[in-house]
Structure 1
């Protein structure tokens, strides 16, 4: 089951430009297969994305279908930010600035 990063205060799910199986760039939710790997890479990954405040990012488990829904909501658009409420509702807004 995939693991993703969720910001505790804002609910943001970490996303970035990645390569798919066909070596094509896409914008989607960053996922790890292993919780320990996600924990170990969290700070470096977030720092590489330009996040200044690394605290409050939690490793959370999502099923594969849910990750796919997240990516559909992002629409391969880096200006979109995906958030997940504590009860699991997904919301999207456009990044300002």
Structure 2
């Protein structure tokens, strides 16, 4: 099962521009096969454009590991619609999506 990073306060799943196995670029949630190390998580936050100075989401301790099913991970990417102006969140055991604030 894939692991994702979830912002504890908002439920937002960490998403960034990535490249798939076919060398195609897409915007999707960042996932790992195993629980990510602190270094891997910090690197993913940086890849998503979240800096340590960001008072809202920049501190690593503000994020938590979330285990998703394969279906949930795929559905989260579908909800993002390959659009960085959207966010996907996991709250109360369900996925949801909306347009990101301040975009």
Q: TM-score, normalised by structure 1?
A: 0.88
State the distance in 1 between where 2:16 and 2:88 align.
11
Q: What SS does the aligned partner of 2:18 have?
A: strand
Q: How much is the aligned-residue C-alpha RMSD, in angstroms?
A: 1.3
* Count of paired positions: 94
Q: Which residue of 1 aligns with 2:83?
A: 77
Structural mapping, 1:21-60, within 5 Å: 21-35=21-35, 38-40=36-38, 41-51=40-50, 52=54, 53-54=58-59, 55-60=61-66
For residue 11 of structure 1, report the CA deviation from its aligned partner: 0.3
Q: Which residue of 1 aligns with 2:99?
A: 94
State the distance in 2 between where 1:4 and 1:39 align.
12
For residue 47 of structure 1, report the CA deviation from its aligned partner: 3.0
Q: Which residue of 2 aligns with 1:3?
A: 3
**Which 4+ stretches in 1 moved above 3 angstroms?**
none
Q: TM-score, normalised by structure 2?
A: 0.83
